[in-house]
Amino acid sequence: MISEIITRNRLNSILDIDKFIDASFNGTVFATKWFTKLKNVDKFIVTRQNNEIVAFMPLFCSKSSNDEINQSTMYIPYGGPVISEPPTTERNKIRFLRDINNSLIKILKENFVSISFSIDPKIIDIMPYIRNGFMPEVRYTYKLDITNSENLYDGYGHDRRKEIRKAIKHDVKFVIDNNITFTDIKKYVEWESKYGFDSSAEEVKDILTHSIANDNGMCFVALKDDIVIGSVGMLWRNKIAYIMYSYFDKNYDLGAIAFLYDNIFKYLSKYKNVEFIDFEGSVYESVENWNISFGAYQDRFYNLHYDINGNDDIARTMYAYFEK
């Protein structure tokens, strides 16, 4: 395997990024041409085997330094390599994926002094990273198979079914907000102020606007008497949809989000060829319990961290995060 860093323009001249994602082992919406352009990604790692491209990785470089990769999982859940379909035999699959990751690690360490990114849940072998001094941070997301969407309701917890019935009883309407007419984007990011973050409302609006234009996303709204009582923002690609943003009006105890989820799952399965929902992992137990109540299963993924000066600061930062 041979890896090199190339510019966006050069990558576009040799590879159809979105087609590669759709035919890949693990491609996500977060590596698409439109998303990486919106995030000002100008450099990619490309890995070749026998002159054929077998993987590429967007480099979400730090805004303050070109020799640091700082991909925040709050805004980009998965940012690691997109890999072509591996061999079918298990031993060859392991070797193939390991060779790609070893080649990737080599060029990352040669060009960056600080590295932080998440790796897709389908990549379970992180031993190459550990052996090369990366510190793995274990995270969990929750996923739901929606291929048999008409039977999902039976798998929901009692409280979720009760909320859905209440919304229907009170004539709550499900609206596809394809012009972002009803959704208040600022309410999607209200939580940021709790942690002292600057509002990313404009950035979120840009992401959703571009995702809708590229048929990779949508806002969905629950309406009661023409009043928005809940909204959910989704992104999707390659048969997986991600729940990215949501809010509800606490003045209306009508199960708006449960109602929306149920309708969204049916819509995505029927009209967008989506097979799995990724609830976009959280370390907060209350959020985990909410995800589980829809019958979702747990899936592990890793944030990978490396610093040329050692991982002490990384460990302290992770500890402080979990103490919040």
Domain boundaries of the chain, sorted by first residue: 2-138, 147-274
pLDDT at 282: 67
220 vs 53: CA distance, rounded Å: 37
Whether the predicted pLDDT of 324 surpasses 50: no
322 vs 129: CA distance, rounded Å: 23
pLDDT at 317: 65
CA distance readout (Å), 275 to 207, 235, 278:
22, 13, 10
Q: What percentage of the chain carries pLDDT values higher than 90?
A: 82
At 30-64, the pLDDT tens digits run 999 999 999 999 999 999 999 999 999 999 998 77
- The identity of residue 182, as a single letter, is F
At 252-283, the pLDDT tens digits run 999 999 999 999 999 999 999 999 999 986 66
Whether the predicted pLDDT of 215 surpasses 60: yes
Q: pTM for this one?
A: 0.92
Domains 2-138 and 147-274 share a fold: yes
The listed CATH number (3.40.50.2300, 3.20.20.140, 3.30.420.40, 3.40.630.30) that belongs to domain 147-274: 3.40.630.30
Query: Mean pLDDT of all residues in the chain?
Result: 92
225 vs 244: CA distance, rounded Å: 26
52 vs 46: CA distance, rounded Å: 10
Q: Is the CATH number 3.40.630.30 carried by domain 2-138? A: yes
Question: pLDDT-derived band of residue 292, with 50, 70 and 90 as boundaries?
Answer: very high
188 vs 35: CA distance, rounded Å: 19
- Partnered with residue 307 across adjacent β-strands are 114
